[in-house]
Amino acid sequence: MIFGAKSVAHCCFERFNARPAGIHQRPVNVEKKKALCSHRKTSADYADVRRLKKNLCKSAKSVDASSEYRGRIAPSPTGLLHIGHAMTFWHAQERAREAGGKLVLRIENLDRDRCRKEFADAIIEDLHWFGFDWDEGPDIGGPFAPYVQSERRRYYLEAWEKLRVGGFVYPCKCSRKDVMQASLAPHDENEESIYPGTCRPNSSSVEAAVPAANPFLAADTSASTTGTHWRFRVPDDERLEFTPRVH
């Protein structure tokens, strides 16, 4: 989509560079945060962002509640947003609107060591400042709440348990270094470097792929702390292919 003679990326870049002085400095207390929000909402820049959004979205279709399309923007609160986030999220919003679907904001706070609540709050604030609108999210709720990944753990564990019991995943102790070294081993020039199958069960039976113990459901631990990773078990003599929509 083109806005005048400028691309969406160019417009995003200009808007982020035009933010008022001090806007990248996160407030350290409630009063400073209120003052900053008030400044944003009353500034000419904030109004300009709204006009920019209106022009960029003028050709998009209205949201159809019956549409099955669900787009999402999923920032990780490990720091403040940058121009790359703006461009990626804007395209996600445009695809959702043009498809007549819903746009969902989801906070990817699974990195416990790096994610911080103040960054999550700043992300929502900055997205609103820039002119993004979503239909579901942690700040407004929705039919599929919660919209914070750390609060959705039980849903993923339930899905993982079905995969485990069905024999579609298997535990693996190989580190990234182990896999990389195996990939560097001599192989046919036409053969891609892939996981060598070190821990993959040899038998095609479901029992061979299902471990006796379930470390994920037995305790609130992650694969990184137990040293065990879980890999999808691609069926023998079958190749899976997919085409990414976004590069």
In this prediction, residue 23 carries a pLDDT of: 43
Q: Which of 33-42, 133-142, 183-192 has the highest mean pLDDT?
A: 133-142
127 pLDDT above the threshold of 80: yes
Question: Does a structural domain hold residue 195?
Answer: yes
160 and 91 housed in the same domain? no
The answer to whether residues 137 and 161 belong to one domain is: no
Query: Last residue of a domain, which of 150, 171, 204?
Result: 150
24-44 pLDDT, tens per residue? 444 434 454 444 444 444 444
The predicted model gives 96-109 an average pLDDT of 94
| Confidence label for 189 from pLDDT (cuts 50, 70 and 90) | low
Instruction: Give the CATH number of the domain where residue 99 resides.
Output: 3.40.50
pLDDT value, residue 25: 44
Quote the CA–CA distance of 211 and 247 in Å, as a whole number.
36
**Would residue 212 count as lying in a domain?**
yes
pLDDT tens, residue by residue, 75-86? 999 999 988 888
Q: What local confidence, expressed as pLDDT, does residue 24 receive?
A: 45
Alpha helices in the chain (DSSP H): 8-17, 30-42, 44-56, 83-98, 117-130, 153-165, 176-183, 206-209, 215-218, 223-226
pLDDT, averaged across the chain: 72
Percent of the chain at pLDDT > 90 equals 34
| Structural domain includes residue 144 | yes
Do 131 and 65 reside in the same domain of the chain? yes
One domain for residues 29 and 123: yes
Residue 128 inside a domain? The answer is yes
Domain boundary among 150, 181, 199: 150
Residues 6+ apart with CB under 8 A from 37: 125
Question: What range does the domain containing 55 cover?
Answer: 2-150
- 199 shares a domain with 129: no
Is 108's pLDDT higher than 80?
yes
The pLDDT score that the predictor gives to residue 186 is 59
Domain end residue (candidates: 127, 150, 173): 150
Cα torsion 107, 113, 116, 119: sign: negative
Count of domains for the chain: 2
- Supply 171's token pair: 């535990």
Task: Give me the pLDDT at residue 210, please.
Answer: 53
- Is there a single domain that holds both residue 64 and residue 170? no
Indicate whether 192 pLDDT > 80: no
**How remote is the C-alpha of 119 from its chain's centroid?**
15
Asked if 136 and 104 touch (Cβ cutoff 8 Å), the reply is yes
Q: What would the pLDDT profile of 4-18 be if each residue is shown by its tens digit?
A: 334 444 455 555 555
Burial of 240 (0-12, 13-18, 19+ CB in 10 A): exposed
Q: Is 238 inside any structural domain?
A: no
Q: Say if 50 falls within a structural domain.
A: yes
189 shares a domain with 116: no
- How many angstroms separate the CA atoms of 228 and 173, rounded? 5
Q: Is residue 15 located within the same domain as residue 96? A: yes
My answer on whether 129 and 174 are in the same domain is: no
Whether residue 243 is contained in a domain is answered as no
How much is the pLDDT for 245? 66
Within this chain, do residues 181 and 224 fall inside the same structural domain, yes or no? yes
Residues 29 and 110 in one domain: yes
Residues 169, 119 share a domain = no
What does the pLDDT read at residue 68? 86
